[in-house]
Amino acid sequence: MGVYAFRSKHAEYVKVGHHAGGDAWERVAFRGFNSCVVPRELRGRTDATDLELVAWFPLLTRKDEGAVHRLVSSASSKVGEWHTATGFEEDVSPELAKRDRAAGGDGSRHAECNLEEVLQRGKRRVRRSRALK
């Protein structure tokens, strides 16, 4: 379990959410955030290639994620779980770091996540499942 933050490459928004796996890219690699509420300018532009992983805190929980979202209550600074980049930098990111330290973490582990490895694992799973049919 962990809390991630993905920055859009198309508009000044950052998506904050949680994922039960060991690599934040697993959450978005095959389906993006297309089923989530998104800002209008990001509709259809939330696949892995549209995003940059800017934070991954594997020690944080769904409870931490919810608390962070509640910090930014202004409707003008977020849409669903998408925060403005400014709101993220000023409010959300420092709170994530503080909660990570309290949980015994030593900062974001996003550099350890690897989209290409996640995609390769997914391809192997598809090949194995086809072979079983």
Residue type, 1: M
**pTM for the whole structure:** 0.88
Q: Report DSSP letters for 82-114, one per residue.
A: EEEHHHIIIIIHHHHHHHHHHTT--S--GGG--
Angle, CA of 98, 3 and 129, to the nearest 5°: 160
Interval 2-58: pLDDT, tens: 999 999 999 999 999 999 999 999 999 988 998 899 999 999 999 999 999 999 999
Q: What band does 122 get if pLDDT is binned at 50, 70 and 90?
A: confident
The candidate with the shortest Cα–Cα distance to 108, out of 95, 91, 121, 117, is 95
Among positive and negative, which fits the CA dihedral 22, 9, 79, 70? positive
